[in-house]
């Protein structure tokens, strides 16, 4: 009996959301295909490679089709020691990854969107050197994955609301009989 009520409640919630005009972000026309048509150019280095890989996965990169956009990335990384022991050795680090991106239309190359995401996370530093390196690399991978997710969400929202077109000034219609100009 409880299951039937739960299923009925879920069905009612689905109908209510459908009736209110709710549309999932990725249901907007062109969002998925536009994300798949982004060619990501990442900076050199391990974190740049990881970020590009995670973005290609997040965008569901279509390697067979032509790119509609080119995304250039610039990243900066910082590590801050936290949890200092009495012998002045850090047991925990804070890792901060900042990714600046510029999305350009192809083939013209004019800038369509710019943005910045910042990811902060922590990781433990073990006394064993290999374990400490593995923890640091895991933090870099998790940071790149989270930065890719945030960039994907920003771009999907931007695409879903309609890519901004080149703004043109409003046209002014000649004055009417009243003498006041009308804006078109």
49 vs 8: which has the higher pLDDT: 49
Whether residue 128 has pLDDT greater than 70: yes
Strand ranges for 29-89 from DSSP E:
38-41, 69-84
What percent of the chain shows pLDDT beyond 70? 72
**Is pLDDT at 7 greater than 70 in this prediction?**
no
Predicted confidence at residue 169, as pLDDT, reads 42
Q: 25-162: which CATH architecture?
A: 2-Layer Sandwich (3.30)
pLDDT of residue 90: 87
Q: Is 119 or 24 the better-scoring residue by pLDDT?
A: 119
Over range 5-23, report the average pLDDT. Answer: 62
Which among 114, 27, 43, 103 is positioned nearest to 68, based on CA atoms? 103
Question: Rounded to 5 degrees, what are φ and ψ at 73?
Answer: -115, 145
Residue 171 banded pLDDT, cuts 50, 70, 90: very low
Maximum Cα–Cα distance across the chain: 86
Beta partners for residue 48, in sequence order = none
Q: Which of 23-32, 63-72, 106-115, 150-159 has the lowest mean pLDDT?
A: 23-32
| pTM for the whole structure | 0.71
pLDDT score at 164? 55
Contacts of 17 (CB under 8 A, 6+ apart): none
Residue 62: predicted pLDDT: 82
Indicate the SS3 state at residue 130: helix
pLDDT tens digit sequence for 42-54? 889 999 999 999 9
The residue-averaged pLDDT of 107-127 equals: 92
Average pLDDT on 14-37 reads 64
């Amino acid at each position: 009996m409880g299951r039937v009520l739960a299923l009925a409640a879920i069905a009612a919630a689905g109908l209510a959301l459908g009736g209110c005009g709710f549309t999932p972000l990725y249901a907007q026309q062109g969002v998925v295909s536009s994300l798949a048509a982004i060619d990501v150019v990442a900076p050199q280095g391990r974190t740049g490679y990881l970020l590009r890989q995670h973005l290609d996965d997040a965008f569901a990169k279509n390697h067979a089709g032509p790119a509609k956009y080119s995304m250039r990335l610039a990243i900066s990384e910082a590590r801050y020691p936290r949890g200092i022991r009495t012998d002045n050795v850090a047991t925990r680090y804070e890792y901060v990854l900042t990714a600046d991106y510029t999305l350009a239309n192809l083939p013209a190359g004019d800038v369509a969107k710019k943005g910045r995401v910042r990811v902060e996370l922590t990781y433990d530093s073990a006394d064993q050197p290999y374990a400490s390196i593995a923890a640091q690399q895991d933090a870099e991978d998790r940071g790149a994955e989270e930065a890719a997710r945030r960039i994907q969400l920003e771009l999907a929202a931007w695409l879903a609301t309609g890519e901004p077109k080149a703004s043109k000034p409003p046209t002014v219609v000649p004055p009417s009989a009243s003498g006041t100009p009308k804006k078109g």
